[in-house]
Structure 1
């Protein structure tokens, strides 16, 4: 089985803000992950990535919030997307 693209979207949220969502089903878990998905969920503001969830090889499931990196507990793609959108809402919430 080859990798299968499940989701590829770029959603414009404002004139200077977009979200890019990319999810692949892979034949074997990526090094550091225990599931069969490869993903990148990113929020870009003024041409700078301010929030990103990914599972690059060897580093497992994690998110970047600004310069900070934190592990993420992966349960499902739906739960991962929900967590990402909650973080996006928090990021965009006026203070």
Structure 2
């Protein structure tokens, strides 16, 4: 049985895919000798180490927590769409 995803989850996954594509482009700009498929393989390697980066860089972790707090506050306001890095996520209702 397949569960149907909410529009909020679909929007969040779309945003995650968009940001991953931008991250892959960034990696390619840092290491242009790699092909796109090689760069795409490198992205999960970098993402795997992100928790350690947050642990050794408290200001970066603080920034992540600020964004999380903002998202949480906006969720309480049912009519307000969530905006992260200028990309709008619908609130699952009528916008």
With the shorter chain as reference, the TM-score category is under 0.3
TM-score normalised by structure 2 residue count: 0.27
Higher helix share: 2
TM-score normalised by structure 1 residue count: 0.27
Q: Which has the higher contact order (CA 8 A, sep 6+)?
A: 2
